[in-house]
């Protein structure tokens, strides 16, 4: 049984019995987060950081932690992550965002699993989302499983492992044996309200692009009212009350309130774009 005691970490080596692990991270001005992320995967054989024109110390921090830094013009979330995956050479690949870190328990479990004979070709990681520094445990924000660890040459991928091309909320397409590891990937998502609002403004624009591509632009007055007003209210009620979001205190209230507003923005921006194109 794993405990909270400090685990012993191993550095992977290129031996027949031990699979190689590559870590893929995309960055842009992530000096506030990157050192923490890289420290949690310092035991990996290969760390690939694909940077899109950072003007802060991101590249310096990455190199100081032994990462290989590749400059690559921004091509969108999915395409950028897929380029990072294409640069990996390990048998196993771990895809991380720059504001994520592996908990010490997850590091130990992942190493132990990879040094044995893994029973699956892909693993979901339970993501612990932090909002204003608080772990959001309810309202659908936990365990928030993400497929992030996978065998690079697994036959069950639709094609070579890559993220599905979409403007936002990109996911890896996989159809095979998968499992979920027991411990948490910690997501330092939004340390301040300012960063959250800025992200939601950008993500709602990307979400609007996805709605437009699907033809969901709220053209009628009824669909406009339903999507811009009713859906956000229903989203808040469902997540905050029925999914117990209120148990996460003031931070939970703010998160669910502003998430509902993000939903309204997304549909409103899709409608605005379609209106302008008439």
Domains of the chain: 21-190 (3.90.550.10), 193-276 (no CATH)
Instruction: Calculate mean pLDDT across residues 77-90.
Output: 93
Does residue 104 register a pLDDT over 60?
yes
- Of the two residues 17 and 128, the one the predictor is more confident about is 128
Non-local CB neighbours of 7 within 8 Å, separated by 6+ positions: 104, 105, 107, 108
Where is average pLDDT lowest: 13-27, 64-78, 152-166, 203-217? 152-166
Residue 10 pLDDT level (bands cut at 50, 70, 90): low
Under 8 Å between Cβ of 154 and 175: no
Lowest mean pLDDT among 14-23, 48-57, 112-121, 250-259: 14-23
Q: Give residue 182's pLDDT.
A: 98
Q: Are 217 and 161 in contact (CB under 8 A)?
A: no
Short-list 43, 205, 181, CA closest to 120 = 181
**Model pLDDT, residue 152:** 87
pLDDT band for position 145 (cuts 50, 70, 90): very high
pLDDT tens by residue, 14-49: 444 434 899 999 999 999 999 999 999 999 999 999
Given a contact cutoff of 8 angstroms between Cβ atoms, the answer to whether 211 and 267 are in contact is yes
The predicted structure's pLDDT at residue 20:
85
What local confidence, expressed as pLDDT, does residue 171 receive? 81
User: Across-strand partners of 178?
Assistant: 122
pLDDT of residue 199: 94
Residue 146 has pLDDT above 60, yes or no: yes
- In the chain, alpha helices (H): 34-39, 58-64, 77-86, 104-115, 193-213, 221-225, 231-237, 249-276
Lowest mean pLDDT among 64-68, 151-155, 258-262, 270-274: 151-155
Task: Please count the residues of the chain.
Answer: 278
The whole-number pLDDT of residue 57 equals 98
pLDDT band at 175 (very low <50, low <70, confident <90, very high): confident
Q: Where does the pLDDT of residue 160 fall: very low under 50, low under 70, confident under 90, or very high at 90 and above?
A: low
pLDDT one-digit tens code per residue, 214-228? 999 999 999 999 999
Q: What pLDDT shows up at residue 177?
A: 87
């Amino acid at each position: 049984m794993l405990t909270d005691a400090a685990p012993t970490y191993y550095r992977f080596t290129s031996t027949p019995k031990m699979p190689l692990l590559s870590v893929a991270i995309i960055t842009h001005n992530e000096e506030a987060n990157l050192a923490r992320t890289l420290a949690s995967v310092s035991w990996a054989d290969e760390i690939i950081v694909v940077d899109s024109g950072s003007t802060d110390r991101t590249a310096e921090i990455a190199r100081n932690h032994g990462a290989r830094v590749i400059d690559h013009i921004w091509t969108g979330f999915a395409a950028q992550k897929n380029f990072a995956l294409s640069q990996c050479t390990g048998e196993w690949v771990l895809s991380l965002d720059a504001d994520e870190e592996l908990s010490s328990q997850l590091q130990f479990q992942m190493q132990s699993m990879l040094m044995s004979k893994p029973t699956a070709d892909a693993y979901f990681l339970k993501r612990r989302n932090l909002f204003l520094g608080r772990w959001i445990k309810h309202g659908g924000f936990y365990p928030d499983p993400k497929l992030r660890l996978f065998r690079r040459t697994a036959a069950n991928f639709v094609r070579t492992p890559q993220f599905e091309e979409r403007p936002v909320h990109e996911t890896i397409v996989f159809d095979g044996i998968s499992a979920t590891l027991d411990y948490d990937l910690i997501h330092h998502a939004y340390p301040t309200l300012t960063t959250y609002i800025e992200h939601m403004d950008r993500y709602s624009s990307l979400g609007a692009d996805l709605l437009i591509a699907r033809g969901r632009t709220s053209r009628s007055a009824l669909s406009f009212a339903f999507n811009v007003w009713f859906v956000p209210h229903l989203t808040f009620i469902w997540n905050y009350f029925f999914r117990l979001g209120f148990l996460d205190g003031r931070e939970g209230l703010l998160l669910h309130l502003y998430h509902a507003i993000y939903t309204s923005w997304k549909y409103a921006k899709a409608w605005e774009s379609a209106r302008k194109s008439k």
